Structure 1
Amino acid sequence: MEQKRVIYDLKTGLAKAEAYCAYQERSQQEVRDKLYSWGLHSREVEQAIATLIETNFLNEARFAAAYVSGKFRIKKWGRQKIRQGLKLKRVPDQMIARALKTIDGDAYLETIVALAEKKLPLLGTADPFKRKYKLLTYLQGRGFESDVILDALKNSGLLEK
């Protein structure tokens, strides 16, 4: 597949990058990759990134908070899966930790219970050990931590079913 390299100067690249960042929150790495795909050279890319940060079009902490909020509220992802997604976007570990702290603990547990209640009727096995294993595997796949899952399910009474 051929990549289009249409933009060659910093001024045009910066204007397009501002529009790209204004549309939705972006990580520095996403913007950097986009600028390179437009044909800018490394010095120009880093200069554009610095300008975008100065003008507040690009804010890694704001991006991390928006990412955490969206993935938890809308996609119902757990902390581990969200952390992995942010690492793939090359967000610094301290910002990831700070953003993950914004998840409400009670809402987190409620989400685990709600997902478990929705999944239980679909498991299709009568063996309680297999049901428990399948449920735990499903919730871990969504990015929730094993110990938190077990606590939430015990407190809700779902594990005895």
Structure 2
Amino acid sequence: MEKERAKPIYDKRTALVKAESYCAYQERAQQEVRDKLYDWGLHHNEVEEVITELITTNFLNEERFANAYVSGKFNIKRWGKIKIKQGLKLKKIPEKMIIKALNAIDYDEYLKTILAAAEKKSAVLIEKDVYKKKYKLITYLMGKGFESNLISEVLKDNNLS
């Protein structure tokens, strides 16, 4: 059995420097930083002061984080809006910010992504029954976070259904 490493305990100033480094490495959600600060042994008031300082110095910006998250998950992971939205909700990003960030995704590009994922999956599905194959394809695309109405539209428009 592996020993659990003792969590470091920092004072507020040290935690601020570490948190700045943590935020500079990649965009972070406020909740991620807040959790990290609690892990470092800071108390509620200290955590909120550090968060405020990080926001003031622009190390922490929820809107910038939401845009980076959406961009990365869509352009690199090829996730659909539903899955991206769930990920942002888990990070406690406000609903208005989520909607604004998701609206940055180009609609035509989104449909092309659904089509590309459908074509790629369809090519590897070894199913003789047309209905079962379509069901598996739709289930796969929904698992990637795409909306069922758009999936149906793309499949129908491209004779994949």
Decide whether the 8 Å contact of 1:3 with 1:37 is kept in 2.
Answer: no
Q: Which moved more, 1:21-30 or 1:118-127?
A: 118-127
Superposed CA RMSD: 1.1
Deviations 1:91-138 (A, max 9, x none): 011100000001110110001110111111221111111111000000
* Unaligned segments of structure 1, at least 5 residues: none
How many residues align? The count is 159
> Is it true that 1:62 corresponds to 2:45 in the alignment?
no
Q: Return the TM-score normalized by structure 1.
A: 0.95
Q: What's the CA shift for 1:9?
A: 1.1
Deviations 1:31-90 (A, max 9, x none): 000011111111000000000000000000000000000000110100000000000001
Q: Distance in 2 between matches of 1:116 and 1:126?
A: 17
Matches within 5 A, 1:13-52: 13-52=15-54
Q: Distance in 1 between matches of 2:158 and 2:130?
A: 16
Q: Distance in 1 between matches of 2:9 and 2:26?
A: 21
Q: Return the TM-score normalized by structure 2.
A: 0.95
Q: Distance in 2 between matches of 1:96 and 1:38?
A: 29
Matched residues, percent identical? 62
Q: What's the CA shift for 1:3?
A: 5.2
Q: What's the CA shift for 1:2?
A: 3.6
Q: What's the CA shift for 1:13?
A: 0.3
Matched position secondary structure for 1:8: coil
- 1:94 counterpart (93, 96, 111): 96
Tell me which stretches of 4 or more aligned residues in structure 1 moved more than 4 Å: none
* Unaligned segments of structure 2, at least 5 residues: none
Which position in structure 2 is the counterpart of 1:117?
Answer: 119
Q: Distance in 2 between matches of 1:92 and 1:2?
A: 34
- 1:151 counterpart (150, 153, 157): 153
- 2:13 counterpart (11, 14, 19): 11
Q: Distance in 1 between matches of 2:20 and 2:155?
A: 46
